[in-house]
């Protein structure tokens, strides 16, 4: 191949390959969604249409990228998880992040009219997302990351639910409600909701309290009881990430992943049960399709 005199510029490119054998989390977040949610009159504190739209776009991203094993969404953010064995784009951070951000944004905008038929998108207020990739070395770290996001969802939702009740139903000014909630703990907010507004927070919709988990569905496995060689994180003595899969095995898994249905659930991902019943997520393998024996 002939080299042009300009080719030296390639040497300026920086390597951004992510550490091998680690979980890759790409978190995207809506840019200026505070303003966007006002512009398109999202309901407060939660707009079901907005959350369903986020989830629908995330489902399309998982369908597009079979290498993704799970995703978790809350508010205007979504975390997409690649398994340690993932070799997509030679694990180059820039390629992974930009592909996820643009695929997500494309679907979000394409699907917008189905969720907001009476408020079409109009420049200059158009949805866009930023994104970053972070690697985590162990399944425990990954699960702690996911737990962190779900705890954040709970804390913010309890606060927002109480705040907007005080404003919308209690007639308080924003600043008054903010002041009144300063220094309160969860039980105080639960009490305000119950005593002043007759709301039992436990009965609020799961999607608001727990956020949304997106993953490929196979046959659920029974919760394991008794001792196994797995610890609470589902991590085995030899992490699956270190067993190199052959190219043919990888291709086979990819095909099976494309066959599986991508589902959205609003469940606890902090406790072990979610991960134990869906071992294919942490193992990076595939489960049994519902029709298989």
- Member of 55, 61, 65, 75 binding ligand DGT (CB under 6 A): 75
Q: Does 32 bind ligand DGT (CB under 6 A)?
A: yes
The answer to whether 40 touches 125, Cβ cutoff 8 Å, is yes
Alpha carbon distances (Å) from 36 to 63, 114, 213, 236: 27, 18, 24, 45
Q: How many amino acids of this chain bind Mg ion (CB under 5 A)?
A: 6
- The site map against ligand DGT for 42-71 (x = CB under 6 A) is xxx-xx--xx--------------------
With CB under 5 to 8 Å by kind, the binding choice for 63 among Mg ion, ligand DGT, none is none
**51 scored as a contact of Mg ion (CB under 5 A):** no
Beta bridge partners, 28, equal: 78, 131
- Map residues 226-255 to x or -, x wherever contact with ligand DGT holds by CB under 6 A: ------------------------------
- With beta carbons less than 8 A apart as the criterion, state whether 149 and 109 touch: no
Neighbours of 228 (CB within 10 A): 10
Nearest distance from residue 101's CB to Mg ion, in Å? Answer: 13
Nearest distance from C-beta of residue 31 to Mg ion, angstroms:
6
Nearest to ligand DGT of 39, 140 (CB atom): 39
**What DSSP designation does 110 have?**
H
Among residues 30, 84, 127, 234, the one that binds Mg ion under rule CB under 5 A? 30
Partner whose binding site includes residue 287, from Mg ion, ligand DGT, none (CB under 5 to 8 Å by kind): none
Tokens 């643009």 appear where? 102
50 binds, among Mg ion, ligand DGT, none (CB under 5 to 8 A by kind): ligand DGT
CA atoms within 13 A on the CB side of 238: 3
75, two tokens: 């508010």
Say if residues 271 and 207 touch (Cβ distance below 8 Å).
Answer: no
Whether 69 and 193 have beta carbons less than 8 Å apart is answered as no
**Minimum Å distance from CB 236 to Mg ion?**
35
Write out the two tokens for 115: 């969720």
Whole-Å CA distances, 28 to 71, 111, 186, 290 = 11, 18, 28, 31
Site string for Mg ion, 69-108 (x = CB under 5 A): ------xxx-------------------------------
Residues that bind ligand DGT (CB under 6 A): 29-34, 37, 42-44, 46-47, 50-51, 75-76
Residues that bind Mg ion (CB under 5 A): 29-30, 33, 75-77
């Amino acid at each position: 191949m002939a080299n042009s005199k300009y080719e030296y510029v390639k040497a300026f490119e920086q390597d951004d390959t992510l550490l091998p054998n680690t979980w890759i989390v790409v978190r995207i977040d809506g840019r200026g969604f505070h303003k966007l949610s006002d512009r398109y009159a999202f309901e407060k504190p939660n707009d079901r249409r907005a959350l369903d739209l986020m989830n629908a776009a995330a489902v399309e991203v998982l369908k597009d990228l079979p290498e993704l094993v799970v995703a978790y969404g809350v508010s205007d953010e979504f975390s997409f998880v690649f398994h340690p064995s993932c070799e997509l784009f030679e694990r180059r951070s820039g390629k992974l992040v930009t592909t996820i951000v643009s695929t997500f944004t494309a679907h979000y905008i394409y699907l917008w009219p189905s969720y907001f038929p009476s408020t079409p998108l109009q420049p200059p207020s158009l949805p866009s997302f930023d994104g970053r990739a972070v690697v985590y070395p162990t399944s425990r770290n990954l699960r702690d990351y996911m737990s962190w996001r779900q705890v954040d969802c709970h804390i913010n939702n309890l606060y927002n639910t109480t705040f907007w009740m005080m404003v919308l139903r209690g007639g308080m000014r924003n600043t008054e409600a903010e002041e009144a909630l300063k220094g309160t703990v969860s039980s105080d907010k639960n009490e305000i909701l119950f005593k002043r507004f007759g709301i039992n927070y436990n009965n609020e919709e799961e999607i608001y309290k727990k956020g949304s988990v997106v993953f490929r569905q196979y046959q659920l496995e029974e919760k394991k009881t008794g001792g196994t060689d797995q610890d609470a994180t589902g991590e085995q003595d030899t992490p699956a990430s270190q067993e190199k899969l052959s190219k043919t095995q990888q291709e086979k898994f990819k095909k099976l992943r494309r066959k599986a249905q991508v589902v959205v659930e609003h469940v606890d991902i902090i406790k072990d049960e979610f991960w134990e019943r869906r071992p294919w997520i942490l193992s990076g393998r595939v489960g049994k399709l519902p029709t298989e024996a």
